[in-house]
Amino acid sequence: MKPLTQRSKSVSNKKMTFMERIYLPAIFGGMWITLKHFFKKKNTVSYPEETRPVAPIYRGQHVLKRDDEGRERCTACGLCAVSCPAEAITMDAAERENGDEHLYREEKYAKKYEINMLRCIFCGLCEEACPKEAIFLTDRIVDADFGRGEFIYGKDKLVEKVDERIDVSKRQVWDYH
Ligand code: SF4
Ligand code: SF4
């Protein structure tokens, strides 16, 4: 019968030679291959102590930016959520109260802003959709964890600290103003 693929092999019933019967050459051959691997360059790295270099425009964990005066830029317009193909972003908008002008740049702000990092595919569409230069992806890697709940990142993890700004200049490829 004609074989369906070209991968079939005919089995030979030839008698084993003496060297094949004592198995030692095969064992030493296998050990030689193992030994050679000891001296080969390792493909693995000891993460997190060691990290691989990433591309300058690597898309990792998001940041919600503040302006030069430390006010949150996000105005909770929802464009990032609408553009997200993974439906990973949710938010609650609120009106800025009198006296909160130093906290929020716009009259409306995101009271709650969450990204589900398990849904996110790091496509960067949220960043492109944002009219306020408020959300950027960074070169930070989302930490591994044991619980699914830990991957819902709220404002505590997303908004940059006033005294610990995150450089996103590599991702600002065009002028928004
Ligand atoms: S990077 Fe893509 S998938 Fe992730 S939150 Fe932004 S738009 Fe959604
Ligand atoms: S991050 Fe940008 S697009 Fe998303 S709600 Fe805030 S201002 Fe709008």
State the DSSP code for 104.
B
Total-model pTM:
0.76
3-class secondary structure, 158: helix
Hey, what long-range contacts does 143-151 have (CB within 8 A, 24 or more apart)? 148/118, 151/116, 151/117, 151/118
From the CA of 127, how far away is ligand 2's center (Å)? 8
Which pLDDT value is given to residue 56? 81
Which pLDDT value is given to residue 100? 94
State the DSSP code for 143.
P
Residue nearest to atom 8 of ligand 1 (CA): 84
Is 139's pLDDT higher than 50?
Answer: yes
Residue nearest to atom 2 of ligand 2 (CA): 130
d(CA 134, CA 130): 7
Q: If you average pLDDT over residues 84-88, what whole number do you get?
A: 97
123-138 pLDDT tens trace: 999 999 999 999 999 9
- Sorted by sequence, the CB contacts under 8 Å of residue 119 that are 6+ apart come out as 86, 87, 88
Q: If you average pLDDT over residues 146-160, what whole number do you get?
A: 95
Is 173's pLDDT higher than 80?
Answer: no
From the CA of 20, how far away is ligand 2's center (Å)? 70
Domains and CATH numbers, the chain: 62-171 (3.30.70.3270)
Is 176's pLDDT higher than 60?
Answer: no
Ligand 1, atom nearest to 121 Cα: 3
